[in-house]
Amino acid sequence: MGFRHIYSTMLPIRTAPMVLLLVVLAGTGSAWAQEGAVFRTDELSILSAGERHHFRVEVAETPAQRAQGLMWRKQMAPGHGTLFDFKAPGPVVMWMKNTYIALDMLFIGADGRIINIARNTKPHSTDFIASAGPALGVLEVIAGTVKKLGIRAGDRIDHPIFRK
Protein backbone atom coordinates (compact mmCIF):
# COMPACT_ATOMS: atom_id res chain seq x y z
CA MET A 1 0.00 0.00 0.00
CA GLY A 2 1.56 3.29 -0.95
CA PHE A 3 2.61 5.93 1.45
CA ARG A 4 -0.63 5.74 3.33
CA HIS A 5 0.31 6.40 6.87
CA ILE A 6 1.25 9.53 8.67
CA TYR A 7 1.75 10.25 12.30
CA SER A 8 -1.00 12.71 12.93
CA THR A 9 -1.26 14.99 15.89
CA MET A 10 -3.43 17.75 17.20
CA LEU A 11 -0.62 20.22 16.57
CA PRO A 12 -0.92 21.57 13.00
CA ILE A 13 2.78 22.50 12.92
CA ARG A 14 3.75 18.82 13.12
CA THR A 15 0.96 17.58 10.87
CA ALA A 16 1.45 19.98 7.96
CA PRO A 17 4.95 18.76 7.00
CA MET A 18 3.80 15.13 7.10
CA VAL A 19 0.72 15.87 4.99
CA LEU A 20 2.94 17.67 2.47
CA LEU A 21 5.29 14.66 2.43
CA LEU A 22 2.28 12.39 1.92
CA VAL A 23 1.14 14.40 -1.10
CA VAL A 24 4.62 14.50 -2.63
CA LEU A 25 5.25 10.77 -2.15
CA ALA A 26 1.78 9.82 -3.38
CA GLY A 27 2.75 11.16 -6.78
CA THR A 28 5.91 9.01 -6.84
CA GLY A 29 4.32 5.88 -5.39
CA SER A 30 4.31 3.90 -8.61
CA ALA A 31 8.06 4.38 -9.07
CA TRP A 32 8.69 3.08 -5.57
CA ALA A 33 6.40 0.12 -6.14
CA GLN A 34 8.15 -0.73 -9.39
CA GLU A 35 11.50 -0.78 -7.61
CA GLY A 36 9.92 -2.97 -4.93
CA ALA A 37 11.07 -2.74 -1.35
CA VAL A 38 12.19 -6.10 0.01
CA PHE A 39 10.39 -7.23 3.18
CA ARG A 40 11.58 -9.74 5.73
CA THR A 41 8.96 -12.34 6.62
CA ASP A 42 8.01 -13.48 10.07
CA GLU A 43 5.33 -15.32 12.01
CA LEU A 44 2.80 -13.76 14.36
CA SER A 45 -0.30 -14.93 16.13
CA ILE A 46 -3.49 -13.33 17.32
CA LEU A 47 -4.92 -14.52 20.62
CA SER A 48 -8.71 -14.20 20.44
CA ALA A 49 -11.39 -15.85 22.59
CA GLY A 50 -8.97 -18.49 23.83
CA GLU A 51 -7.76 -19.39 20.34
CA ARG A 52 -4.46 -18.65 18.65
CA HIS A 53 -4.58 -17.70 14.95
CA HIS A 54 -1.26 -17.90 13.08
CA PHE A 55 -0.20 -15.63 10.22
CA ARG A 56 2.84 -15.35 7.95
CA VAL A 57 3.60 -11.64 7.57
CA GLU A 58 5.86 -9.34 5.67
CA VAL A 59 7.25 -6.75 8.08
CA ALA A 60 7.23 -3.15 6.85
CA GLU A 61 9.82 -1.59 9.15
CA THR A 62 11.66 0.99 7.02
CA PRO A 63 10.20 4.18 5.54
CA ALA A 64 10.42 2.69 2.00
CA GLN A 65 8.68 -0.51 3.07
CA ARG A 66 5.94 1.37 4.93
CA ALA A 67 5.50 3.62 1.88
CA GLN A 68 5.06 0.63 -0.43
CA GLY A 69 3.08 -1.71 1.80
CA LEU A 70 0.66 -3.72 -0.33
CA MET A 71 0.51 -1.27 -3.22
CA TRP A 72 0.03 -2.78 -6.68
CA ARG A 73 -0.53 -6.33 -5.44
CA LYS A 74 -3.62 -8.05 -6.78
CA GLN A 75 -3.77 -10.98 -4.38
CA MET A 76 -2.68 -12.20 -0.99
CA ALA A 77 -2.94 -15.74 0.36
CA PRO A 78 -5.20 -16.50 3.32
CA GLY A 79 -3.21 -16.61 6.53
CA HIS A 80 -0.79 -13.96 5.25
CA GLY A 81 -0.53 -10.24 5.94
CA THR A 82 1.64 -7.20 6.33
CA LEU A 83 2.74 -5.91 9.74
CA PHE A 84 3.69 -2.22 9.82
CA ASP A 85 6.20 -1.40 12.58
CA PHE A 86 6.15 2.35 13.30
CA LYS A 87 8.99 2.05 15.87
CA ALA A 88 7.24 4.32 18.42
CA PRO A 89 3.58 4.53 19.45
CA GLY A 90 1.54 7.44 18.14
CA PRO A 91 -1.61 8.26 16.20
CA VAL A 92 -1.53 6.49 12.82
CA VAL A 93 -3.51 7.21 9.66
CA MET A 94 -3.60 4.76 6.74
CA TRP A 95 -5.16 4.81 3.28
CA MET A 96 -5.76 2.42 0.37
CA LYS A 97 -4.26 4.37 -2.52
CA ASN A 98 -3.02 2.04 -5.31
CA THR A 99 -4.09 -1.01 -3.29
CA TYR A 100 -6.18 -3.57 -5.18
CA ILE A 101 -6.99 -5.89 -2.27
CA ALA A 102 -9.78 -5.10 0.21
CA LEU A 103 -8.25 -5.40 3.68
CA ASP A 104 -9.00 -5.58 7.38
CA MET A 105 -6.63 -3.23 9.25
CA LEU A 106 -5.86 -3.95 12.90
CA PHE A 107 -4.35 -1.00 14.79
CA ILE A 108 -2.13 -2.30 17.61
CA GLY A 109 -0.87 -0.59 20.76
CA ALA A 110 2.65 -0.95 22.17
CA ASP A 111 1.38 -3.69 24.53
CA GLY A 112 0.20 -5.81 21.58
CA ARG A 113 -3.50 -5.18 22.19
CA ILE A 114 -5.70 -4.38 19.22
CA ILE A 115 -6.91 -0.78 19.65
CA ASN A 116 -9.42 -0.73 16.79
CA ILE A 117 -10.16 -2.49 13.52
CA ALA A 118 -11.11 -1.09 10.11
CA ARG A 119 -12.99 -3.86 8.33
CA ASN A 120 -13.28 -4.39 4.59
CA THR A 121 -11.42 -1.25 3.51
CA LYS A 122 -12.17 0.04 0.03
CA PRO A 123 -9.47 -0.57 -2.60
CA HIS A 124 -7.91 2.58 -4.14
CA SER A 125 -9.62 4.88 -1.62
CA THR A 126 -7.76 7.95 -0.43
CA ASP A 127 -10.02 8.26 2.62
CA PHE A 128 -8.01 8.32 5.83
CA ILE A 129 -8.37 5.36 8.20
CA ALA A 130 -7.21 6.31 11.69
CA SER A 131 -6.14 4.55 14.85
CA ALA A 132 -8.35 5.18 17.87
CA GLY A 133 -5.27 5.76 20.03
CA PRO A 134 -1.47 5.56 19.95
CA ALA A 135 -0.48 2.61 17.73
CA LEU A 136 2.91 0.95 17.42
CA GLY A 137 1.81 -1.28 14.57
CA VAL A 138 -0.86 -2.07 12.02
CA LEU A 139 -1.61 -5.56 10.74
CA GLU A 140 -3.25 -5.81 7.32
CA VAL A 141 -4.99 -9.05 6.37
CA ILE A 142 -7.48 -10.02 3.67
CA ALA A 143 -10.92 -8.43 4.18
CA GLY A 144 -13.25 -10.78 6.01
CA THR A 145 -10.51 -12.40 8.09
CA VAL A 146 -11.49 -10.51 11.25
CA LYS A 147 -15.14 -11.55 10.95
CA LYS A 148 -14.29 -15.15 10.04
CA LEU A 149 -11.97 -15.58 13.04
CA GLY A 150 -14.00 -13.48 15.50
CA ILE A 151 -11.13 -11.07 16.16
CA ARG A 152 -12.04 -8.00 18.24
CA ALA A 153 -10.52 -4.88 19.73
CA GLY A 154 -8.77 -5.89 22.94
CA ASP A 155 -7.42 -9.15 21.51
CA ARG A 156 -3.64 -9.54 21.63
CA ILE A 157 -1.06 -9.77 18.86
CA ASP A 158 1.94 -11.95 19.73
CA HIS A 159 5.03 -10.70 17.87
CA PRO A 160 8.47 -9.49 19.04
CA ILE A 161 7.86 -5.80 18.16
CA PHE A 162 5.27 -5.75 20.96
CA ARG A 163 7.63 -7.33 23.53
CA LYS A 164 10.19 -4.52 23.71
Per-residue pLDDT at 164: 65
| Residue 132 in this model has a pLDDT that exceeds 50 | yes
Which H helix or E strand runs over 31?
helix 12-35
In this prediction the pTM is 0.78
pLDDT, mean of residues 11-34: 36
- 27: pLDDT confidence band, cut at 50, 70 and 90? very low
8 contacts 91 by C-beta, under 8 angstroms: yes
Topology of domain 6-162, per CATH? Jelly Rolls (2.60.120)
Using one digit for the tens of pLDDT, what is the confidence trace for 67-106? 888 888 889 899 999 999 999 999 999 989 999 999 999 9
Rounded Cα–Cα distance for residues 45 and 55 (Å): 6
State the CB neighbour count (10 A cutoff) for residue 103.
Answer: 30
Per-residue pLDDT at 73: 85
Residue ranges with strand state E in the chain? 6-7, 40-48, 51-60, 80-90, 92-94, 103-108, 114-118, 129-130, 135-142, 156-158
Per-residue pLDDT at 25: 39
**CA dist 158 to 8, 48, 129, 151, Å?**
26, 11, 23, 14
Using one digit for the tens of pLDDT, what is the confidence trace for 35-50? 467 889 999 999 999 9
Mean residue pLDDT of the chain comes to 81
pLDDT, mean of residues 11-30: 36
Phi, psi of 68 (to 5 degrees): -80, -50
| Residue 1 in this model has a pLDDT that exceeds 60 | no
Per-residue pLDDT at 80: 95
